[in-house]
Structure 1
Amino acid sequence: MIGHWSRERAAEWLRRPSAGDDKYRRGVLGMRTGSAQYPGAALLGVSAAWRTGAGMVRYVPALDDAPSPHGLPSPAASVLAVHPETVFGEPGSRPSDAWVLGSGTDPADRSTAERSALLELLRGGAPLVIDAGALDLVAQARSGDDGPRDGAPAILTPHGGEFERLWRASGLGALPDDWDPRGGADGDAQRGRAETAARLAERLEATVLLKGSVTVCAAPGEAPLLVGPSTPWLATAGTGDVLAGILGALVAAHAAGVREDPASLARIGATAALLHDAAARIAAGDPEAAGSGRPITALDVAGAVPAAVAALA
């Protein structure tokens, strides 16, 4: 049975710090995102993670990333300029509690060394948020072609087109006739997308967060959760990178529980999607979903996340 995620249920996953917390107890998030072609993706994701409440954000740039042909700053330089509190480089003695991979990257530009590093994380123990340019590795890492099927608890965040590519790569055949890549609010379309996402989740043994006007969060063996419809003002470049950062911070805060119960990633994913929409509505001046509001950018959404956390928690 398909469930609808609520603000009340989301609030249970928004962990407030206590007097006994330090930066490590609040969650250490590693981010391997952005590229010379898309340095802004790194900044958007890191900004969102900090503003969601991560105790520490560690940014690790892609190996062998070529300099920008347009003279743009590197992703690391972009992050440092705005968030000097960010830690840079590979983990030392204390590993990251969770990782965000792939936002703002292109598999066509990925080096052999970077591919190996990403596959090592996919087969590790830290929970993962896998987005955009890292999605192509999931089917390989979990199919037996490149190693063992087991690996880190993972939540995948494809939009409609990326979902279709994942579906084909997973060997599931033709997509169902009722598949709707756009994710409209129609009830039949919602059910079809939810059932299709659940099938892919079972196949890959990973949670699937299928983005759209109505977001689907499906964990293997559990009923899918729906979030939305979200504000249409979210349909703009970069908002997916913000969602990945929000989600990464929440996963890092609950990493121990995720390792014990990977299916909890669906509830965390639904919370992230609801928080993402709440931040967009605040930024657009339409917090009550009245249908008005104003145009926003992805950075506006990231900037409104603290207010959305306060409103939900």
Structure 2
Amino acid sequence: MPAEEPAQAGIPASKLWGVADAAAWLRPPADNDHKYTRGVLAARIGSARYPGAAVLGVSAAWRTGIGMVRYVAPLDDAQPELGLPTPAAAVLAARPETVFGDGSCDAWLVGSGTDSGSCSVAETAAIAHLHTGETPIVLDAGALDSALARTEASAPAVLTPHIGEIRRLWAEADLGPLPLLRPQGAGSGTVPLSAVARLATRLSATILLKGSITTVVSPGGRVMSVGPATPWLATAGTGDVLAGILGALVARHAGPVRANPEVLAPLAATAALVHDVAARLASGDDATDPTQCAGTPITALDVACAVPKAISTLSRLAPCTTSPGSTKRS
């Protein structure tokens, strides 16, 4: 869809999320900050089959500038094959500063590197229980289906589906035929804003629809777009990196999110912009020129490693001394 899509069926036009918008949510820590005031993210991600997803998500969260990341291993996960490490062991080897096990947190990141069809009964129940609390949740990959049971009383949540996952959620939500713009195949095409908005309302959650143009729609009607992203992002694992960035931002701003879940929309758009800028920096493109795509191939870990420089770049392009709605955790 274009950067400024016209209003559809009562849906406001999409706001193109820019550098100044994102920089307002990326302030550096103050001299009185500590690891708890900078946000604590609990990451329930990765699996025996995809331990790398846990490493990518946790690494990206740390590189976003969060105060602490807790890693919570999936319950009753299968035993790794092919000599692979468990997700927890992989995370420890890559990010030894990570804290392991349940504990207090400001936000949850759930589902990256998992498949809802292979999650244990205990893990499925644990994820469902998160929706009954007040702690904000970022839902990715195998945890997306847990949103189908949400109500307006559920914890604040943001979903990060791609077009294929949107199609599945739409069908499982029993919303009828999904309208598509320029359909090109079973897993592609563009979903109109009205459909994304309808699904966001049905799930009582903000939706970040990944694509060349990332679209963010909140249940309250906030609509934002980011991109076009560099095509070098179309590679395995970059979605795990995006989820980690978003989880860290939500944890950092958990107070405002709990007070008003609509805050998840600008945080999601900011995460998408940081993700793209990091990819452009990693590939050698000009991060200030979104039309340039002449860089070199990159991997997901390259993107995660470039996140600090991306945040610095965005902050330098649009300096900001305060963070909107920033509050400290007691």
- TM-score, normalised to structure 2, is 0.87
User: After superposition, where does 1:5-154 map in structure 2 within 5 Å?
Assistant: 5-91=17-103, 95-142=104-151, 150-154=153-157
Q: Is the 8 A contact 1:59 1:88 kept in 2?
A: yes
User: How far apart are residue 198 of structure 1 and its match?
Assistant: 1.2
Task: Please say if residues 54 and 249 of structure 1, whose CA atoms lie closer than 8 Å, have aligned partners that are also in contact.
Answer: yes
Match of 2:77, SS state, is: coil
Does residue 258 of structure 1 match 2:257?
yes
Moved more, 41-50 or 284-293: 284-293
Q: Tell me, yes or no, if the aligned pair for 1:247 and 1:268 is still in contact at 8 Å.
A: yes
Shift of 1:247: 0.2
| Residues 47 and 126 of structure 1, relative CA distance in 2, 3 Å threshold | same
Is residue 182–residue 213 contact of structure 1 (8 Å, CA) maintained in 2?
Answer: no
State the Cα distance separating 1:141 from its structure 2 match: 3.9
SS in 1 for 2:207: strand
Partner of 2:248 in structure 1?
249
Mapped pair 1:217 → 2:216: yes
Q: Give structure 1 regions of 4+ aligned residues with deviation exceeding 6 angstroms.
A: none
CA–CA distance in structure 1, aligned partners of residues 180 and 272 of structure 2: 26
After TM superposition, give the deviation of residue 291 of structure 1 in Å.
2.1
Of 108-117 and 227-236, deviating more is 108-117
Superposition deviation, residue 178 in structure 1: 2.5
Contact 1:179 1:196 in 2 (8 A): no
Comparing 120-129 with 39-48, greater Cα deviation is found at: 120-129
Does the aligned pair in 2 maintain the 1:15–1:253 contact within 8 Å? no
Q: Which amino acid aligns with 2:176?
A: G
Root-mean-square deviation (Å): 1.3
Q: What secondary structure is seen at the aligned counterpart in 2 of 1:31?
A: strand
Q: Aligned runs of 1:254-293 on 2, under 5 Å?
A: 254-287=253-286, 288-289=289-290, 290-293=292-295
The residue type equivalent to 1:245 in the other structure is: G
Residues 228-278 of structure 1: CA distance to partner in whole angstroms, max 9, x if unpaired?
Answer: 000000000000000000000000000000011101111100000000000
In 2, Cα distance between the equivalents of 1:105 and 1:79? Answer: 15
Q: Deviations over 1:196-240 (max 9, x none)?
A: 211111111100000000000000122310100000000000000
Q: Secondary structure at the match of 2:192?
A: helix
Q: What per-residue deviation string (whole Å, max 9, x for no partner) do you get for residues 56-89 of structure 1?
A: 0000010001111222000000000011100000
CA distance in 2, matches of 1:266, 1:52: 18
Q: CA deviation at 1:3?
A: 1.1
The C-alpha deviation readout for 1:1-31, integer Å capped at 9, x for no partner, is 2211111100001131001100000000000
Q: Which amino acid aligns with 1:65?
A: D
Aligned residues of 1:33 and 1:41 also touching (Cα < 8 A): yes
What runs of 5+ residues in structure 2 fail to find an aligned partner? 1-12, 316-330
Within 5 Å, which residues of 2 pair with 1:168-187?
168-178=171-181, 180=183, 182=188
Structure with higher helix content: 1
Match of 1:146 in 2: none
DSSP 3-state at the match of 1:259: helix
Task: Verify the 8 A CA contact 1:44 1:245 in the aligned structure 2.
Answer: yes
One-letter amino acid matched to 1:150: A
5+ residue gaps, structure 1: 143-148, 184-188
* Count of matched residue pairs: 297
User: How far apart in 2 are the matches of 1:120 and 1:40?
Assistant: 26
- SS, match of residue 158 in structure 2: strand
Q: Which moved more, 1:230-239 or 1:119-128?
A: 119-128
Alignment check: 8 A CA contact 2:116 2:142 kept: yes
Aligned partner of 1:295 in structure 2 is: 297
Shift of 1:50: 0.2
Residues 180 and 192, structure 2, Cα contact 8 Å, conserved in 1: no
Distance in 2 (CA, whole Å) between partners of 1:177 and 1:257 is 34
Q: What SS is found at the alignment partner of 1:30? A: strand
Matched letter for residue 241 of structure 2: V
Matched position secondary structure for 2:41 = strand
- Give the corresponding residue for 1:208: 207
TM-score with structure 1 setting the length: 0.92
How far is the alpha carbon of 1:294 from its aligned partner? 0.5
> What's 1:163 paired with?
166
Amino-acid identity (%):
58
